[in-house]
Amino acid sequence: MKVLALNYGSSSIKFLMAESRPSHDMLYPLGRGSIDGIGTSQSTLRLYFSDRPPVQESLVATNHTQGTTFLFDHFNLYEEFSPSTIHAVGHRVVHGGDVFTQPTVVNAGVLSTLERLCDLAPLHNPLALKGIQETRTILGESVAMVCVFDTAFHHDMPKVASTYAIPHELATRHHIKRYGFHGIAHASLVQGYVTHRGESHQQDRVISLHLGNGCSITASKGGRSVDTSMGFTPLEGLVMGTRSGDLDPALVNYLAEKEHVTCAEVEKWLNHKSGLLGVSGQSSDMRMLLEAANHNHDEQATLAIDLFCYRARKYIGAYLATLGGAEAIIFGGGIGEASPDIRQRICENLEWCGLQLEPTRNEQAIHLSPGMATCITKDQAHLPAYVVAADEEMLIAQQTVECLTRSNTT
C-alpha cells in the first residue's frame, strides 16, 4: 500500500509518500517535501527523494486549494509520487472537538461535521477541509482518505487538567474545555524518544516541548497526554511567535474599551501581533531576535527571548509537579530542534531537578533526520534531555494505515 500524508500549515503543505510492504509492520518513506509561502507573492516547492538529489522550484500558490493542485501536478513528474499509484491519503486536521477522538475515515458525514467544527479552529480547520476536498476531486472518491486529529492525543486528559473553572452549564452547553493542540507533533516526539531508548521506556513520564512559531508543552505518561499548555484554542500557554500565550482574560475587554475597538479585534492582536513579535517590536523569527540580542544588544529582543524561555521553564517546573517527576525532557519543533542557545537558556536553573546540559552535545544536536533523537545532557544527569526531530507526516501515514486496517476488519 502506498500512502500519502498531507500536513496543512497556515502557509504551507508538508507531505510524505510512504509504502507499507507485505509481512512488515514498518512504513518505508519514498520521498517527502513541502510547499512553503502559500498566500505570498512566491511559493517554493521542495521534493526530497530517498535515492537522488532534491528538487526545488518556485511557483505562486495563492491558497491551499491551489497549492494542493500544484502539488499533484508535480507529483505526475516523478515515479515515486505518481498519483495513480496512491492507495490512501492521511490528512492532518487540527481540531476534532469532542466528536473525533481517533483517526477517522473520510466520508460525506465526516466532511459535514468538519465544516461545523470550523468555528472551533477558524484559522486551521478550513485549510484542511479545502485540502481534503481538492484531494478527493483530483484522486477520486475511490481512494481511501483518513483524518488524523491534533486534538486526539489530548482527548483523554484527566478532567482536572481539561476543565475550566467556569459555570458548568455554560461549559457543557458550548463544549468549552481545554482541548490541547500540536498533538501529532507531541506524539511523534514521544515516539522518537521511545524508539531511541527502547520499548522498555514506553511507560515513561516525559515532558515534550514543541517550539516553533506556535509553541506548546505537554506532560505525557505511558504515551498519553495528561496535561498540555494550549487549551480551548491554540492561544493559551507559552509565548509564541505572534501569540501572547497566558494572560489575564480581563485584558481583552480592558483593551477593547481603552482602544475603542471590538473584543474580536483585540483577539486578533493577541493571535497575530503579540508574542515574540509584540514584545520585540521587530520580528517573530527567533533567529533574527538572537542576532539582535547577542550582537546588537537590543533590549526588547533580549526581553522577548528571556520571556519565551522563562515561560517554557516555568511550565517544565509545573509539569514535573504534575507527573511527580519525569524520565526525560524532549525538545522539538523548528526552534527546539535548531537552536542550542534557546535550549540552553530554557534549561538554566533546572539543575535542582537533575537536568545538566552537556555543552558539546547540545551544540551538535541540530540538523537531525526526521524521527531521529539524541541526548544533550551529561551521562550522570538524573533528568536527561533529548532533541527529537519530529516526523509528523510519518505518524499521519502510520495512523492512516492503522485506521484503514481497523475499518476493514470490522
**Domain termination site, one of 124, 155, 186:** 155
- 339 falls within a domain: yes
244: domain CATH number? 3.30.420.40
Summarize pLDDT for 358-370 with one digit per residue, the tens.
Answer: 999 999 999 999 9
State the Cα–Cα distance between residues 4 and 33, nearest whole angstrom.
11
Q: Is 7 annotated as a binding residue?
A: yes
Helix segments in 140-240, DSSP class H: 159-162, 168-173, 183-197
C-alpha triplet 136, 124, 185: angle, nearest 5° = 95
- 167 falls within a domain: no
Number of domains forming the structure of the chain:
2
Give Cβ neighbours of residue 203 (< 8 Å, ≥ 6 apart): 221, 222, 223
- 47 falls within a domain: yes
- 72 falls within a domain: yes
Cell 500512502 identifies what position?
3
The pLDDT confidence band at residue 404, using thresholds 50, 70 and 90, is: very high
Using alpha carbons, list the distances in angstroms from residue 350 to 79, 186, 322, 344, 378: 50, 22, 16, 10, 13
Q: Judge if 352 and 208 occupy the same domain.
A: yes
- 304 falls within a domain: yes
The pLDDT confidence band at residue 79, using thresholds 50, 70 and 90, is: confident
Summarize pLDDT for 300-327 with one digit per residue, the tens.
Answer: 999 999 999 999 999 999 999 999 999 9
Using alpha carbons, list the distances in angstroms from residue 161 to 145, 219, 221: 32, 11, 14
Respond yes or no: is residue 150 known to be catalytic.
yes
Q: Is 213 annotated as a binding residue?
A: yes
Half-sphere exposure of 253 (CA within 13 A, CB side): 3
- 163 falls within a domain: no
State the Cα–Cα distance between residues 69 and 164, nearest whole angstrom.
41
| Lateral strand order in the sheet of 224-228 | 224-228, 215-221, 205-211, 328-332, 385-388, 373-375
Residue 11 has pLDDT above 90, yes or no: no
Using alpha carbons, list the distances in angstroms from residue 360 to 290, 327, 373, 375, 390: 20, 22, 16, 11, 22
- 252 falls within a domain: yes
Is the Cβ–Cβ distance between 44 and 36 less than 8 Å?
yes
Q: Is 156 annotated as a binding residue?
A: no
Q: Is 286 annotated as a binding residue?
A: yes
Could you tell me the residue range of the domain that residue 68 belongs to?
2-155
Nearest to 212, CA basis, from 239, 245, 183: 239
Which cell is 42 given? 512566491
Q: Judge if 149 and 207 occupy the same domain.
A: no
pTM over 0.75? The answer is: yes
Residue 199 has pLDDT above 80, yes or no: no
Q: What pLDDT does 410 receive?
A: 56
Q: Judge if 124 and 205 occupy the same domain.
A: no
Q: Which of 51, 73, 98, 150 is catalytic?
A: 150
Q: Judge if 208 and 278 occupy the same domain.
A: yes
Q: What pLDDT does 319 receive?
A: 98
Q: Is 285 annotated as a binding residue?
A: yes
Q: Is 97 annotated as a binding residue?
A: no
- Please compute the mean of the pLDDT values over residues 85-113 and round it to a whole number: 95
Is the Cβ–Cβ distance between 54 and 46 less than 8 Å?
yes
Q: Judge if 58 and 117 occupy the same domain.
A: yes
Q: Judge if 230 and 124 occupy the same domain.
A: no
Summarize pLDDT for 164-184 with one digit per residue, the tens.
Answer: 999 999 999 999 999 999 999
State the Cα–Cα distance between residues 144 and 403, nearest whole angstrom.
11
